[in-house]
Amino acid sequence: MILGAIEAGGTKFVCAIGDEQGNIHERAVFPTTAPEETMAHVIDFFRPHRIEAIGIGSFGPVDLRPDSPTYGYITSTPKQAWAQFDFVGTMKQHFPVPIGFDTDVNAAALGELRWGAAQGLDSCLYMTVGTGIGVGAVVEGRLLHGMLHPEMGHMFVRRHPDDAFAGICPYHGDCLEGMASGPAIERRWGKKGAELADRHEVWELEAFYLAQAIANYILVLSPEKVITGGGVMKQTHVLPLVRRHVQELLNGYVQHETILEKIDEYIVLPGLGDNAGVAGALALAAAANE
């Protein structure tokens, strides 16, 4: 089966031609500028191929309610040019094939479950820490949706007693995204995370916030694997700190061997690296064609 995949992010679109086994035959990256421009690149990329279905994992907020008049739209995003953009409808005009549509983080969670770090499991959580903080989840083999799609990145967390930073979330100030996203790190310390690699206190604080949210996700969803990706997690010294804080917070309460004794195998980096999202979009395409 020839499938098209789009991981639509706020800074770039990753497109791929691949198949239902997660193989990626061809891959291209386009910057996220105006919809007309970016979508023209996307359409040109797919046109030569006889694609049988398309999967889209998109930045949001997006409308995922199949019975909604704006199903398949990017809705009230602060990226003005993309607000109320009919993503699925635009693709359908050019490619009249089945189209699967979900959030970028849900696509990544699905990709990791099928072919990555959570392969063979029934559930996982995928958290990306970068420009924003987004989280997708698979529960009993199915992507987690609700009344709206989850917005776990905005979880309310406890402030560190030594941290006076106000937070940068325009809605909540010091929610998780407001305290621990890439731009929050830069605003608090006056430098980008990549330039702070050797400052232990930066990453201790980062882990303090990420671990609280992960502990709460575990208490709510009890996933079989927690996968952490995105630019901030490329500071690979963060993850061991996160694991330690999660264990300390839960304090033996969640009595499962993998948390008590094998946390290095429980909270992990993406098995698919930067291809989790686009691979997940292939899985969305395959599912749409079933």
Q: Would you tell me which residues interact with a copy of itself (CB under 8 A)? A: 61, 76, 123, 139-140, 142, 144-152, 154-159, 171-172, 212, 215-217, 219-224, 249-256, 258
Distances (CA, A) of 28 to 13, 89, 234: 8, 22, 22
Nearer to a copy of itself, 147 or 290 (CB): 147
Min dist CB 223 to a copy of itself, Å, is 6
Min dist CB 123 to a copy of itself, Å, is 6
- 85-86 vs 99-103, strand pairing mode: unpaired
Nearer to a copy of itself, 156 or 261 (CB): 156
Q: How far apart are CA 106 and CA 7, in angstroms?
A: 11
Tokens (6 digits) for 139 = 């529960």
Q: How far apart are CA 51 and CA 285, in angstroms?
A: 10
Nearer to a copy of itself, 106 or 235 (CB): 106
What DSSP character marks residue 158?
A: P
Tokens (6 digits) for 58 = 């998109």
Nearer to a copy of itself, 38 or 106 (CB): 106
β-partners of residue 169 are 173
Q: Up-side HSE of residue 222: CA atoms within 13 Å toward CB?
A: 5
Nearer to a copy of itself, 87 or 208 (CB): 208
Min dist CB 100 to a copy of itself, Å, is 16
Nearer to a copy of itself, 96 or 252 (CB): 252
21 Cβ contact partners less than 8 Å away, ≥ 6 residues apart: 115
What DSSP character marks residue 156?
A: B
What is the distance of C-alpha 269 from the center of its chain? Answer: 13
What DSSP character marks residue 127?
A: E
Min dist CB 195 to a copy of itself, Å, is 31
Min dist CB 253 to a copy of itself, Å, is 4
Min dist CB 245 to a copy of itself, Å, is 11
